[in-house]
Amino acid sequence: MQLEYQLVQNTLIVKLKGELDHHVAEKIRQELDDTIKKNRCKNLIFNLSDMRFMDSSGIGVIIGRYKYISQIGGKVAVVEVSEKVDKIFSLAGMYRIIGKHQNQLDALNSL
């Protein structure tokens, strides 16, 4: 799993590449938390275009960041969601709390 970061004002955009599963979840969780706090991010966008797989641990990583961002008054969105990951998000009810957008510009404009 690789992460690429882009900071746009107070919004952190994270591009996840690979598989987010129980093997890497804790490492990714810690890296995201450190980056969010270091940059004092209010909003978070996950770009999932290069994510091949996600299990329940991956959902936990995203939910945990959602909870933190929500507590500071921010919003979380996902963009460019692959068909496989979209199915997982739908089944888990993630779209009830996290916005889904076609691309980063749409997400930035909605936050």
Domains of the chain, with CATH numbers?
2-110 (3.30.750.24)
Cα gap 17→47, rounded to integer Å: 9
- Closest among 65, 55, 64 to 21, alpha carbons compared: 55
Say whether 22 sits in a helix, a strand or coil.
coil
- Closest among 9, 5, 87, 92 to 46, alpha carbons compared: 5
pTM score of the predicted model: 0.92
pLDDT tens per residue, range 40-92: 999 999 999 999 889 889 999 999 999 999 999 999 999 999 888 899 899 99
Q: Position 33: which residue type?
A: D
- For residue 77, what pLDDT is reported? 97
How does DSSP classify residue 42? Answer: S
Q: What are phi and psi of 4, to 5 degrees?
A: -120, 135
